[in-house]
Amino acid sequence: MAVALPLPIYRTFTYRVDGPPPPPGTRVLVPFRARDWIGWVVGPAEARELKRIKSVLSVLEVEPSVPPDLLELGRWIADYYVTPLGIVLRTMLPAVLSDVSRDYIQLVAEPGSTLRPREQRLVDELRQRDGAQRVQTLRKSLGMGSIWPEIRSLQERGLLVHETVPPKEPGVKTRKVVRLARHLGTLSEREELFGRAARQREAYELLEASGGAAELAHLTDGEGFSRSVVGGLEEKGLVELIDEEEVRDPFAAMPPQAPPDLKPTAYQRDALSALWGGLDNAPRPFLLQGITGSGKTLVYIELLREALARGRTAIVLVPEIALTPQTAGRFRSHFGDQVAVLHSGLSHGERYDAWRALRSGDRRIAVGARSALFAPLPDLGVVVVDEEHDGSYKQSDAPRYQARDLAIVRAQAHGAVCVLGSATPSLETWSNARSGKYQHLVLPERVGGAKLPPVKVVDLRESRGILSDVLVAAVHERLRRREQVILLHNRRGYSSFVQCRECGEVEQCENCSISLTYHRVTHRLLCHHCRFEAPAPSRCPRCGSADLSFRGLGTEQVERVTAEAFPEARIARMDVDTTSGKWAHQRILDRVERGEVDILLGTQMIAKGLDFPRVTLVGVVNADVGMHLPDFRASERTFQLLSQVAGRAGRGKLAGEVLIQTSLPDHYAIRAAVAHEFTPFAERELKERESPSYPPHVRLANVVVSSPDQRLTARAAEDGVAWLRRWLEAGARSGTEIVGPAPSPIERLHGRWRWHFFLRSASAGALGRAAKALVEDFRLPSGDVRLALDRDPVALL
């Protein structure tokens, strides 16, 4: 049978199994090279002669963890995004289901002869550690890449022993429960049985009063009964001690709130009529384009209500983890415990339990970030992608999938309704709606008659300071009226870089070709790519001067300036640095909702999906952040971000206002955001991308070649381009253009030098064939050289 392994190898492997082969999608433990791996059965093996076929070590489950529909989706992803099937399947499942075997080694003898340098380093490391050491931990601490050749060599000479610990069973959590096994009726019977054992009798009667069962920890810790008291009841046959499964529900302590009594508007009813009709047949995808505050969420809820009434299930995707609790809360208020949440902010156990509840049918709606798309739901009826334009729907590592596109693929496979919702759709989605590929539904008005807030521009070329006088006055007025303010600055940290005024030296990351960001709270310099950090300097490391300049602007500095300007205001900052803890997003947003925050400032995570009726002013500290990135979508991203954050103001009965500080007041993206005009912006942006051609006019793939060696990286990229040109010419394969190679905009990242080139074609099929040929057939030079392909990239950095 064929088994897919989560390895960067573009084929499956053949294994034999005793007895009938397990069905496709089943997890199996198999040997591969020097270790054991968890893989997935994907069907019968290809007919080919093999000298020796290894046996499966263990079949890990009875019911396949990958149902047939998700296995087919996985095959589509592997083919379209040119990614090994095993890596795709691992991505689709909770982490506990791919917990690979753990390998340990221990030094048992001292070497009597000279070792090779790498072997000596490994032996020296083992000498410093007690007992058996995990291979993965050693590999990371030594920074040597694979150390298996050294392990095998030392093992053959009897210097160390190697042991593989089998993978753990998936993490089902249980609790000890004491349950009554026998009922005592008469008083005399109790006195005869308990006699002087008063504590046993008290425990027994407490169990009776508790409905016949109680958690052991509650009896011992909460009620003060000793373990021997419970043991005495067991010996008398009065109770039994059982293991009861405990479902890890992150919302268990937060009961659903009563839903608001909302009636759909005429525009919402028209949209719902079309969407309900789609449940009866296999429809085209729907673009639900509604201005901010137009009630897209209510449309989603009523659509899901109808789908569930027909016995079907649903998936709702949101772009940010910060939005998940608020979105889940809205859906739970209508559907209660039918909702399960899936996102990376949960523990492995919580995600696994939610996944099992969805697979078993106990929960019928999955809400979460892009990974929720792989929820194992039968009879899928609806897939909603909220804020479909958001770049976070793109997976940054293999498989580099676009969740918005996969939502359409999965919905079509089930005959389900797919709704792409946004106030500022991506140009790809808007073009498909304009051409008729998608059905276009529009919500042009805010619910309740509220108007979009007026937007004013503050020209930073004529203003000094981080907060202009106009913005400061507007904030003072909101504080006087006890209203709330949102300040957006899409760059975290305090200063973007530290520069010596004497010699011009800028502190750089040791692993990346990028400057280090200064964080004032920790007084450290941090790389936001590889997480390298160093103490903030007091003197220039190059010339020794103490005249250092902290340049650039981040949210920490905006927070300091805001606190100085408005000392009476209660301020909350929301960025990656303040929301790293579990539920940190929700705690901040709850404070805003309760009115305990006057000014909420942060990065793009505060720009979308949030609904606070007392927010009447939105200020954009610098709208030019991101405008000049070497990325063809820079203008589109800027327009979307400004439009989305502007939509946070005036969503209730109170009128709103937006102030945008910019040095580019005449840029068409700024002007369109000020006027709340999506269509003129989209038409202008489409024209800008005609020459040179960029999506949506063409399909694009970004190929990145990387290596620790700068010269080897450049040579490998040039060889790859030359090979692909020959491949295209040999088969007379026209229609695919190669652009490059050239150094990547960030040339060094995580200690690896990077070059890249583009594949561009009007045909998705032609581009896919060229990409597949390059990845599978081009031989990379020897050395640690890697090739990564990003199809339909959201950015070219």
pLDDT of residue 795: 61
Query: Can you give the pTM of this predicted structure?
Result: 0.80
pLDDT of residue 248: 62
- Percent of the chain past pLDDT 90, that is, above it, reads 45
Residue 414 CB neighbours (<10 A):
19
pLDDT of residue 388: 94
Q: Rounded mean pLDDT of 519-545? A: 87
* Residues 6+ away with beta carbon under 8 Å from 284: 437, 438, 439
Contact in structure between 479 and 617 (CB atoms under 8 Å): no
pLDDT of residue 588: 86
Q: Per-residue pLDDT tens for 603-661?
A: 988 887 778 889 999 999 999 988 888 788 999 999 999 999 988 888 878 888 999 99
Q: Rounded mean pLDDT of 192-197? A: 83
pLDDT of residue 434: 93
Run of H or E including 755: strand 752-761
With CA atoms as reference, report the closest residue to 421 among 543, 506, 297: 297
**Residue 480 binned pLDDT confidence (cut-offs 50, 70, 90):** very high
Q: Per-residue pLDDT tens for 236-284?
A: 888 888 876 565 666 665 666 677 778 899 999 999 999 999 998 878 9
Q: CA-CA distance, 404 to 384, in Å (whole number)? A: 9
pLDDT of residue 290: 93
Residue 585 CB neighbours (<10 A):
22
Contact in structure between 381 and 314 (CB atoms under 8 Å): yes
Q: Rounded mean pLDDT of 192-209? A: 84
Is the pLDDT score of 796 beyond 60?
Answer: no
Question: Which DSSP category does 108 fall into?
Answer: -
Residues pairing with 499 in the sheet = 506, 549
Q: CA-CA distance, 607 to 602, in Å (whole number)? A: 9
Six token digits for residue 549: 């300049």
Is the pLDDT score of 50 beyond 80?
Answer: no
Q: CA-CA distance, 412 to 690, in Å (whole number)? A: 30
Q: Per-residue pLDDT tens for 425-475?
A: 999 999 999 999 999 999 999 888 778 899 999 999 888 889 999 999 999
Q: Quote the distance between the C-alpha of residue 142 and its chain's center.
A: 29
> Maximum distance among all alpha carbons in the chain?
98
Q: Rounded mean pLDDT of 512-523? A: 87
Q: Please provide residue 13's backbone torsions phi and psi, each rounded to the nearest 5 degrees.
A: -125, 150
Is the pLDDT score of 187 beyond 90?
Answer: no
Q: CA-CA distance, 697 to 693, in Å (whole number)? A: 6
Six token digits for residue 641: 């971000």
User: What average pLDDT is seen over the chain?
Assistant: 87
Q: CA-CA distance, 29 to 208, in Å (whole number)? A: 47
Six token digits for residue 655: 């009128």
Six token digits for residue 566: 């408005």
Q: How many residues does the chain have?
A: 797
Lowest average pLDDT, out of 29-33, 185-189, 337-341, 587-591, goes to 185-189
Lowest average pLDDT, out of 10-14, 223-227, 684-688, goes to 223-227
Higher pLDDT, 121 or 329: 121
Q: Rounded mean pLDDT of 553-578? A: 90
Separation in Å, CA 555 to CA 421, 550, 552, 589, 621: 29, 14, 11, 17, 10
Is the pLDDT score of 769 beyond 70?
Answer: yes
pLDDT of residue 487: 95
pLDDT of residue 104: 82
Beta strands in 484-543 (DSSP E): 484-488, 497-500, 517-519, 524-526, 533-535
Lowest average pLDDT, out of 24-33, 161-170, 305-314, goes to 161-170
